[in-house]
């Protein structure tokens, strides 16, 4: 059973958060182990597994970015496990700019940061944060709507647009984390747990 099926939802990306929460609470009331205390031991494992599936489904679908990421993997038939992706590659459109940043990063690693170098890194980081937020806005808005409205024939294109935006975002996040590390910052602002 995939996560959309858990909530009896179609494979669409625009989901009403309140409605999803309502369904989650209703499902949790049915599946939570608290209400199956009298089940025989053999059934207990199945009870836990079912509750775990509902929880995982909610965790993924309530977050628009994780939801898009899950949909892409589901459509491509590799939705078995969350996360653990290899280090994302730079999207072609960002290559030139990234080259510049990588250079600055290498310099930062080689020698202690002076005031000017630090200012450059901060400025680059802030620009990437903006850009990352932009990709997220696209994923939540136009790209999600495009997928939902796509006909059978339009789907592959809509899917690869999602995929590209997700890859760009993932790449931006790793570079932002690298920049934050070089700046000696503990939390990068994107290291947000819930995306």
Q: Is 86 in the site for other proteins (CB under 8 A)?
A: no
Q: Which of residues 108-137 bind other proteins (CB under 8 A)?
A: none
Q: Which stretch binds other proteins (CB under 8 A): 27-35, 64-72, 140-148, 162-170?
A: 27-35
For residues 31 and 23, the answer to whether their CB atoms sit within 8 Å is no
CA distances from residue 16 to 10, 21, 35, 172, 186 in whole angstroms, order as listed = 13, 9, 28, 28, 34
What is the nearest approach in angstroms of other proteins to the Cβ of residue 6? 14
CA-closest candidate to residue 14, choices 154, 186, 149, 169: 149
Of the residues 2, 5, 25, 133, which one makes contact with other proteins according to CB under 8 A = 25
Integer Cα distance of 93 and 135 in angstroms: 13
Q: Which stretch binds other proteins (CB under 8 A): 2-10, 114-122, 161-169, 186-194?
A: 186-194
Integer Cα distance of 152 and 11 in angstroms: 13
* Residue ranges in contact with other proteins by CB under 8 A: 21, 25, 28-29, 32-35, 37-38, 48-49, 51-53, 55-56, 58-59, 80-81, 83-84, 187, 192-194
């Amino acid at each position: 059973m995939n996560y959309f099926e858990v909530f009896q939802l179609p494979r669409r990306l625009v989901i009403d958060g309140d409605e999803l929460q309502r369904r989650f609470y209703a499902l949790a009331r049915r599946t939570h182990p608290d209400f199956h205390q009298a089940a025989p031991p053999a059934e207990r494992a199945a009870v836990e597994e079912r509750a775990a599936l509902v929880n995982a489904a909610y965790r993924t679908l309530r977050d628009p970015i994780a939801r898009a990421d899950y949909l892409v993997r589901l459509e491509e038939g590799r939705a078995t496990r969350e996360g653990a992706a290899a280090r994302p590659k730079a999207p072609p459109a960002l290559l030139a700019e990234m080259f510049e940043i990588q250079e600055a990063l290498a310099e930062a690693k080689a020698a202690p940061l002076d005031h000017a170098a630090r200012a450059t890194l901060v400025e680059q980081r802030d620009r990437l944060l903006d850009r990352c937020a932009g990709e997220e806005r696209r994923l939540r808005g136009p790209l999600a709507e495009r997928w939902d409205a796509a006909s059978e024939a339009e789907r592959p294109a809509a899917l690869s647009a999602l995929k590209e935006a997700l890859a760009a975002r993932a790449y931006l996040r790793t570079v932002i984390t690298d920049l934050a590390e070089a700046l000696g910052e503990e939390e990068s602002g994107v290291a947000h747990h819930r995306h």
